[in-house]
Structures are given as C-alpha cells and as structure tokens.
Amino acid sequence: MTETADLPIEEILFQKVIDHLRVIYPELDIRAIARDLIHTMRLDEDCQKPLAHKNLWDQTDITVITYGNSILSDDNNQKPLHTLHHFLKTHFTMLINSVHILPFFPYSSDDGFAVSAYKQVDPPLGDWNDILRISTDFHLMADLVINHCSAQHEWFRNYQQGKDPGNGFFVEADPRDDLSMVVRPRVTPLLRPTETPDGTRYVWCTFGHDQVDLNFRNPKVLAKIVDIIRLYLDMGIRIFRLDAVAFIWKRAGSICLNLKETHEIVRLLRTLIEHANPNAVIITETNIPNRENLSYFGNANEAHCIYNFSLPPLLVNTLISGNCQHLKNWLMAMPPAQNGTTYFNFIASHDGIGLRPVEGLLDDSEQEALVQTMENFGGQISWRALDDGSNKPYEINISLFDALKGTVSGEDQWQLERFICAHAIMLALEGIPAFYLHSLVGTTNDYARMKEHGHNRAINRRQWQEQELNERLADRESHHHKVFHRLRQLIQLRREQPAFHPNATQFTLHLGQQIFAFWRQSLDRRQSIFCINNISDVPQEISLNAINLIGTDEWKDLVSDTTFNDMLATVTLAPYQTLWITNRT
C-alpha cells in the first residue's frame, strides 16, 4: 500500500479537499467541486507543502488595528491609505510588523462590514497599489467578510431579479420555521421580506437588513469566496481575519452557531490557503463564550489564531474593581496553544467591549456593575435580542482610555497608569498582542462622530488629521504623547525577550487579589520573566521570596531597570505598576 507521504503533494491536497467537502456537501458531486476549488486557487499550477505545527510568529510579532481612513492628510489630494502608510512607517518601523486594515472595500453600512464589492478597494481610500505598498513593509491582515454581503452587492441585486451570479446565493427561510433558538447579536428582525420573480422570499440577516447572509449550502458561493481569497493572496495579504465566521451555516431548529459544517469550511479554507502560501495565517473572529471560541483551534487544523475575546471585558473589570480573581481563574483555565497555533490578544477594537465572552465568567451583578461604571465614564451600550423577546447588553462602546479613567468608585488620578498597566498585561500574555490604533495614541470618546453616524460604535472610530495628531504626539504635556511614548517603550522591551514568544510557557501566580501575576519561560528555557502587576489604586507589597527567584541567577526589572540582589527583599508596587523581573540581562 502506498503511504500518503509518498504521494505527490497535489494528490494529497486533492484528497484533503475531498475529505472536507464530504462533510459539507455529502449529497453532491464533490470531486468536481474539489477540482474547481483547486483550479481557482491555482494550486494545480503551484502547490506548496505546509509544515504542520510550525510557529509562524515570534516575540517580535505585534499588530496594529486601524481603519484605512483613521489618519487623514491635510492634502485633500492624498488618499487615506497613502497617509496611513506614511504614518505607520514614521512612527512604528522596527516596533510593529503587522497591520490589520479593517474592511477597505466599497460598502453600504457598518463602517465597511457590509461589503458591496469584494474585489475592489474603496476608491475614496485608494487602490490595490496602495495595499501592495503597505504589504511590502508590514504583514497585512485583511477581513474576509463571508457570513454576509451588502444588500447593495451585485449578487443580491441579481438575486432580486432571479439572475446569476446571485440566484441561490442567499439563505432563505419560512417565517413559520422554528427559529426560536437562533443566537444573534442584534435586535432587528432576523428575516427580511424580499420581492423576487418567484414572489416574496424571506432572506436571513444575522446582523441587520443591509447585511444579507450568504448561502454556503450552495457550492457556487464557496467557489466565489475562494476566488476572492486568491485575489487577496495576489495583493500581498498574508493574514486572513474570518469575520463573524461562527454564523455561516444555518439549520432551522438549531442555534445556527458553531455548527459542524462551519468548522469544516474553516478547515477547508485553511487547507487551500496554506497550500498556496505556507506562511499565511487564518484568524477567526468569533465573539462568543470562551469555550466555544477555543473550539476554532480544532486540532491545530482550523484557525492558526483565535481572538481572545474574554480578555478585554475581564481586564477592564479587573482594573475598575481592583480584584483580579476572575482574570486569574480565566487564565488558569486557558489551555496552552499547540505549536502552530496561538492566541490573538487585544483589549480594544473598532467595535466595543463584548459581554458574551464573559458569560459564565462574571455573574449578572458583576456584569451590571461593569456596564454601569462604563456608562458613568461616557460609554454607550449595544443590545442583542434573546429568544424570550427581551434584550440584553451585548457590548460596551467606549474608548479604552476613557474606560479606565477610574474605578467603580468613580474617576481618579490614575487613568494613565491604569491604561499603561492594561497594555503591559496584554503585551506579556501568551499570544500575539494587537493594539487598536486609537489606544496607541490615547484617543478619547468621540461623541460628535457618534452623533453624526447615528450608532454607538462610532464613539471609538475617530478620524485624526495627520498633522494635528503628530503635534499632539510631540507635545510632552499631552496625554497622547505620554501614552504613545510609554507604550513604545514597552513594545520595544517585549520584542527583545524570548520569554515573550507567543508560545512560551505560562503559569499563573497567586499573590493575592490585588496583584495579577504570571510567569513566562522561553522555549529554550534560558529566560524567565515574572510579570507582576498591581491592579489596584493602593500600593502593594510583595516579597521576592514569594515568587521563588533562583538565587544563583541575576534578576532585574526590565521596565524600571532595577536590579534585585536580595532574594528575600520586599518590593512595594505603586498603584498600577508593572514589574517584568527577568534573569536575562
């Protein structure tokens, strides 16, 4: 019998694709579908062998998340993508090596996530040449918005006319179907009545009536998505963010979330992408409870990275309550990621602080206290509908800088220190850290933009004029300068430490409820770092003996550059102070 390893890579790939399709389309001619997908990806011309369990990252990998038009030039003739590229090169060269540009395609709503043309760059932002130039200087992440497209997309307009491509591209349901269990993050009606040549049809809209869900039961839809992926690879995109991917397969009578076909489609896309570029990375964006989120690692054969959605609400809750018990419990329960997979850590984003990921981690009263505190600091609340007809808070919309302006007791003088502490924790945790651009520069709530756009998420989507932002970053008295300067220092320190490799060993330490601490050890076991954070607004004392520093090693705090000679000494941490105590000097 011929061993699989002895077969040509093209035959191995074909069989893998067949195996995926057998789960997704058991009743169809999957061999023809497999050949079509492989041809679309040009894997019949150039097929590369991916390496299993290979880490495609190290401690120097740090991402910035931004809209293509978050930075605008005073020159009206300069496209925003060009301005963004210039800003990134000016301020982040040798610090940040990856950039996630949020949807840069033509769209009709949701600040880009209702895509009306997948193969174009939105003309007001720039063109594909701008994308290619950015991808030469940074690893570029792009959104693959595959659960839905805009109601203005050509496919949906064709669907309304009974034409191709588009006919059969959208999920239809009967209002009499059992849809009571469907989980979704909106309060709008699930089904949209739509007139077609065959009469009124009811199309599925998980996120709203301008975002119409694509029908992956139709293999022609899958083929279109694979064709889009091929273009993105050609345009220099290396990291694919699968937006809202948990919702892509529907079955009446179920929750329509995380179904087996959904996971198999992720595995299929992984197989196709990594055979085209073994260094490409898939990240799943699944804003769901923690256990369900972890399932998207599969057996190291689905996502390379998963968003650590529980981190933002748990960390904010920790810092406003002065109690890290829930954060410690969560960290202890997080399984170490296998080689070839890792966590994608973020604490602020273009959306908000999601609350679904802390279901089962914070009780109702703790969530209510978190929501109330954020409202006191100017935050807004977005809601989702429950199956009993009631609504429940889904996410908190607020800039992270404002979210940390105080505690449950109110505003105080520790906003900057609390904000820096939050990012120091993120930078040190197992995984790849990702900074929202507005956090890096200390952007505050934008009430004018929220009012102008009429939705809560706009509060944290400010557009800066490049010259104004540069002036604020240069002003030493400005909080923007202080945030930017200190975060740059921490980023540089992280990049130099092997113990901060995304897959380095991590253990939780127990130093009380006001000190959040954990230990990291490099893959070669030569470096240890004890990450110790006072998450309260009062000084805290710890004994170095409590963390068992090895007496034969030399230890120092990387952040303050303080050396420790007495292993029995007591150290006092100021409110929100961070220590990174290491034996590697």
Q: Shortest CA distance to 241 belongs to which of 148, 344, 308, 141?
A: 141
Q: Shortest CA distance to 442 belongs to which of 489, 379, 397, 400?
A: 400
Reduced to 3 states (helix: H, G, I; strand: E, B; else coil), residue 506 is strand
The pair of structure tokens assigned to 458 is 């706009």
State the angle between helix axes of 325-333 and 311-321 in degrees (0 to 180), rounded to the nearest 10: 150
Residue 240 neighbours by CB under 8 Å, 6+ apart: 141, 142, 144, 229, 232, 269, 273, 280, 281, 282, 283
The pair of structure tokens assigned to 506 is 């991590």
- Region of 548 on the Ramachandran plot (φ > 0 left; ψ -120 to 50 alpha; else beta): left
Q: Is the peptide bond before 278 cis (omega within 30 degrees of 0)?
A: no
Question: Sign (positive/negative) of CA torsion 395, 399, 402, 406?
Answer: positive
Give phi and psi for 123, each to the nearest 5: -50, -40
Distance of CA 562 to the CA centre of its chain: 35
The pair of structure tokens assigned to 129 is 């040449």
Cα separation of 233 and 48, whole Å? 14
Residue 371 neighbours by CB under 8 Å, 6+ apart: 355, 381, 393, 396
- For residue 367, the 8-state DSSP code is H
Q: Shortest CA distance to 100 belongs to which of 350, 296, 278, 290?
A: 350
Give phi and psi for 181, each to the nearest 5: -95, -5
In 295-427, the DSSP E strands lie at: 305-307, 342-346, 353-354, 380-385, 391-397, 406-407, 410-411
Residue 177 neighbours by CB under 8 Å, 6+ apart: 252, 253
Q: Which helix (H) or strand (E) holds 14?
A: helix 9-24
Residue 44 neighbours by CB under 8 Å, 6+ apart: 10, 38
Using only the alpha carbons of the chain, give its radius of gyration. 24
The pair of structure tokens assigned to 256 is 């329509």
CA atoms lying within 13 Å on the CB side of residue 135: 18
Which residue has 């496209």 as its token pair? 79
User: Could you confirm whether 243 is annotated as catalytic?
Assistant: yes
Candidate list 61, 110, 213, 243, residue with the active-site label: 243
Cα separation of 383 and 393, whole Å? 4
Q: Is the peptide bond before 165 cis (omega within 30 degrees of 0)?
A: yes
The pair of structure tokens assigned to 220 is 């022609």
Q: Write down how long the chain is.
A: 585
Annotated active-site positions, please?
Answer: 243
